[in-house]
Structure formats: structure tokens, C-alpha cells
């Protein structure tokens, strides 16, 4: 595709289909509306700890955008999420780096895309753990670590405080499509407790059977989330993703796609370009 024919976001050059227009320019998170929500958060001294109020203040603009500027809805959502975080944030549930011998979860940071968004690769068939809650716990902690230094890094590298999820369907079969519970749990967690975090969901060669799963999930998806789903075929992967990912990241993904979709089967060692550090 000729460069001139690709509609891009002016500030990054990333095609708009991989980076839908952010909601910043819709007037949902004006300085006045954010200040109003922050004032409400600051007044929660008896209900929330200092740490919880600090976290909520950083998230105020995202929750306002998610609720189209509705203060009461944003307040209710923040209250629900602060309560959820008290039991959902479990450092011990992070399963460690993926290795040939330790492959319970396949949720792998690859680095930053050209819009400075963290990219995470996932492949259901390459993970040996099939327990839904354990998988969700692991993913929640991975994202918690991903954005742990958000305040310090905001001026340097973050793009709309969002991340990119790259899903590899190698090895995906009927058993995955017939069990949409994991997908529904992810939708519930991301939509309710991580609003305005997902920048793009890239589906690599999704098989026909995946339409069954996607059909079951769509009623639970916000329209803004649905607009962030992009399907990319293996045949056009290098051309399409060249506008979005750096060459070394594309090379790793191509190498992964050529390997069997079974636990422990990935190019190792993993990319060293991950932009965040996990605990030992």
C-alpha cells in the first residue's frame, strides 16, 4: 500500500485503523471536569487510603472519557474499581516470564509500538493454564506492572495511556471457541476497571471458528471497544504492521507464527525490548 494512501494519525504516522481517534478532543475530560472529579476523590479520605486516592486521581480523566463526561457515572465506576482493586491486585498471581518449561500463561510484553504504546503478545494455545480466574489474575498483574510508573513516564513515552494487544490464533481450536467465559471475563475487567486503556486489539489470522466466540462477546463490548478490533492476515502482516511495529518486533512475531501452537513453543529468549520490568 502506498504511503500516501494510508490515513494516519498526524502525530505518530500510525494508520487510524490501528489507532482510532482518542476521546481527548470530545470535551469529556476538560480541565474543569477533571478538577471536579479530582476534588470528589480528594474528599474520600475516610473511605479510601492515600494510595487509593492517588491512583484514582491519575485515572480520573480516563474514567470521565469512558463515561462521556458524566460525573456521577465516573464516580460510581471509580468507587467500584477501587473496591475491586483491593482484592484483584495480587502480586503473587503474576506467573513470571514465559519459558520453554514455564508456560502457564502466554501474555508477553514485546516493547513499544511506533505510537509509543506498550505491545503485549498472547496466544491461547501456547499457554498450559486453562483456569479462567488464574489467567485473569495473571493478566491483571501484568498490566498493573505495565502502568506502574505511569506518572513518572507520562511526559516521556506514553501514548494516550493505552496498550496494544496482539492475539496469535496459531493452534486455536473448537475447544477455545466453545468456551467464551475467559473472553467475557476479560471484557468485564477491561471495560469496567481499565477504561480507555486498550488502544488496539490486533487479531492475527483468526479462524472461522473464532467468529463463534466473537459473536458471544459482542453483546458485552462497548461500541468504542469494537472499533479497536483489527484483523491482520499472515500474508499481509509485514506490510500492515510495518506502519505500527518496529522491524525487530515484526520479525519476532513472524518467527512465532511459524512455530507450532503448543505450550513452550515460542522464539526464545523472549525479546529484550520490553519497556517495563517485572519483579523477580
pLDDT number for residue 174? 63
Angle at 108 between CA 104 and CA 114, to 5 degrees: 170
Mean pLDDT of 54-71: 94
Q: Which has more confidence, 115 or 88?
A: 88
What pTM does this model have? Answer: 0.85
Let me know whether 80 and 212 are in one domain: no
Mean pLDDT of 120-131: 92
pLDDT number for residue 118? 85
CB 169 within 8 A of CB 205: yes
Percent of the chain with pLDDT over 70: 80
**Residue 263 belongs to some domain of the structure:** no
Percent of the chain with pLDDT over 90: 46
Let me know whether 172 and 252 are in one domain: yes
**Residue 279 belongs to some domain of the structure:** no
| Per-residue model confidence as pLDDT tens digits over 232-262 | 998 999 999 998 999 989 999 999 999 999 9
Let me know whether 63 and 143 are in one domain: no
| Domain total of the chain | 2
CB 271 within 8 A of CB 112: no
Q: Look at residues 88, 118, 144 and tell me which one is the last residue of a structural domain.
A: 88
**Residue 264 belongs to some domain of the structure:** no
Domain containing residue 104: CATH number: 3.40.525.10
Let me know whether 142 and 76 are in one domain: no
Q: Hey, what long-range contacts does 71-75 have (CB within 8 A, 24 or more apart)?
A: 71/33, 71/36, 71/37, 71/40, 74/37, 75/37, 75/40
Q: How far apart are CA 210 and CA 216, in angstroms?
A: 10
Let me know whether 80 and 101 are in one domain: no
User: Is the predicted pLDDT of residue 275 greater than 60, yes or no?
Assistant: no
Let me know whether 111 and 145 are in one domain: yes
Mean pLDDT of 179-205: 85
Let me know whether 83 and 106 are in one domain: no
Let me know whether 21 and 144 are in one domain: no
Give the domain extent around 221.
Answer: 93-257
Let me know whether 171 and 107 are in one domain: yes
Let me know whether 29 and 107 are in one domain: no
| Per-residue model confidence as pLDDT tens digits over 129-152 | 988 899 999 999 988 887 876 655
Nearest to 222 by CA among 196, 248, 244: 196
Q: Look at residues 46, 66, 88 and tell me which one is the last residue of a structural domain.
A: 88
Amino acid at each position: 500500500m502506498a504511503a500516501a494512501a494510508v490515513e494516519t494519525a498526524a502525530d505518530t504516522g500510525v494508520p487510524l485503523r490501528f489507532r482510532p481517534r482518542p476521546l481527548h478532543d470530545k470535551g469529556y475530560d476538560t480541565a474543569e471536569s477533571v478538577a471536579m472529579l479530582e476534588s470528589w476523590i480528594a474528599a474520600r479520605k475516610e473511605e479510601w487510603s492515600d494510595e487509593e486516592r492517588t491512583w484514582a486521581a491519575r485515572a480520573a480523566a480516563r474514567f470521565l472519557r469512558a463515561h462521556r463526561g458524566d460525573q456521577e457515572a465516573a464516580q460510581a465506576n471509580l468507587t467500584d474499581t477501587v473496591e475491586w482493586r483491593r482484592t484483584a491486585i495480587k502480586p503473587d498471581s503474576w506467573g513470571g516470564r514465559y519459558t520453554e518449561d514455564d508456560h502457564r500463561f502466554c501474555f508477553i510484553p514485546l516493547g513499544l509500538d511506533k505510537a509509543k504504546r506498550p505491545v503485549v503478545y498472547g496466544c491461547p494455545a501456547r499457554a498450559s493454564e486453562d483456569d479462567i480466574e488464574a489467567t485473569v489474575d495473571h493478566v491483571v498483574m501484568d498490566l498493573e506492572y505495565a502502568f506502574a510508573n505511569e506518572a513518572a513516564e507520562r511526559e516521556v513515552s506514553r501514548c494516550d495511556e493505552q496498550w496494544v494487544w496482539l492475539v496469535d490464533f496459531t493452534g486455536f481450536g473448537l475447544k477455545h471457541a466453545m468456551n467464551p467465559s475467559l473472553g467475557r471475563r476479560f471484557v468485564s475487567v477491561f471495560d469496567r476497571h481499565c477504561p480507555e486503556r486498550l488502544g488496539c486489539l490486533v487479531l492475527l489470522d483468526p479462524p472461522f471458528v473464532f467468529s463463534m466466540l466473537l459473536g458471544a462477546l459482542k453483546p458485552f463490548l462497548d461500541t468504542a471497544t469494537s472499533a479497536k478490533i483489527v484483523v491482520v492476515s499472515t500474508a499481509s502482516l509485514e506490510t500492515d504492521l510495518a506502519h505500527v511495529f518496529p522491524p525487530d518486533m515484526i520479525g519476532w512475531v513472524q518467527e512465532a507464527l511459524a512455530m507450532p501452537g503448543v505450550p513452550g513453543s515460542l522464539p526464545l529468549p523472549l525479546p529484550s525490548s520490553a519497556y517495563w520490568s517485572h519483579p523477580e
